[in-house]
């Protein structure tokens, strides 16, 4: 059995939050995990988790209401966005991120979506190469802004230069038959 065969992907459950905080720490109080789970509970997102041997090893969120950045909304409207993709450092390059993206694409298809978008930091060529390999094409440059409060109550504001990419969604069997590199 290869390593990917032992990895499962499913939406987050409330009981998963302590495991996420322990195995994939995220800044903020409440943590970004709790924020993403709250979006899922409100129906505006689906927080996908990758598991290996009972331990969370990766995550990403589909935001059904799209990216909030004005530049992105002007370019693609409210197309669903997959964001926050992260895989535990020692497990990167083993297909977990790709599996999470494919799971997000399938969820979007199930909801009648024809396109999925995602952002990539301009300082993250490894992720950009993955997204290009999966068929995502650049649409617009924007600044991803995030605010959070640390455990000591100090606020933090982040602003990262990014590029928003989109991929037209095809039926899964059409993707498998499509010519070209994967």
* CATH number, domain with residue 12: 3.40.630.30
The per-residue pLDDT for 173 is 53
Contact in structure between 45 and 82 (CB atoms under 8 Å): no
**182 lies in some domain:** no
Task: Report the 10 Å Cβ neighbour count for 142.
Answer: 21
The per-residue pLDDT for 28 is 63
The per-residue pLDDT for 148 is 74
- If one counts the domains in the chain, the total is 1
Low-confidence residues in the chain, pLDDT < 70: 1-7, 27-30, 171-182
* 3-state per-residue secondary structure call for 124-175: CHHHHHHHHHCCCEEEEEEEEEEEEECCCCCEEEEEEEEEEEEEECCCHHHH
The per-residue pLDDT for 30 is 64
The per-residue pLDDT for 52 is 93
Partnered with residue 8 across adjacent β-strands are: 51
* Distance, CA of 117 to chain centre: 10
Q: Which domain holds residue 52?
A: 3-177
């Amino acid at each position: 059995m290869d390593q990917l065969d032992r990895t499962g992907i499913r939406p987050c459950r409330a009981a998963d939050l302590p495991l996420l905080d322990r195995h994939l720490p995220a800044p903020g109080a409440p943590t970004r995990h709790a924020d993403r789970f709250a979006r899922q509970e409100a129906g505006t997102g689906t927080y996908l988790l990758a598991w290996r041997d009972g331990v969370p090893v990766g995550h990403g969120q589909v935001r059904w209401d799209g990216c909030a950045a004005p530049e992105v909304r002007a370019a693609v409207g409210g197309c669903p966005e997959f964001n926050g993709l992260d895989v535990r450092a020692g497990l990167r390059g083993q297909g977990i991120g790709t599996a999470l993206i494919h799971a997000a694409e399938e969820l979007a298809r199930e909801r009648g979506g024809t396109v999925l978008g995602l952002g990539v930091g301009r300082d993250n060529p490894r992720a950009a190469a993955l997204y290009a390999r999966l068929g995502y094409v650049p649409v617009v440059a924007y600044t991803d802004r995030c605010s959070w409060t640390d455990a000591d109550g100090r606020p933090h504001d982040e602003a990262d230069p990014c590029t928003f990419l989109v991929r037209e969604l095809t039926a899964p069997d059409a993707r498998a038959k499509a010519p070209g590199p994967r």
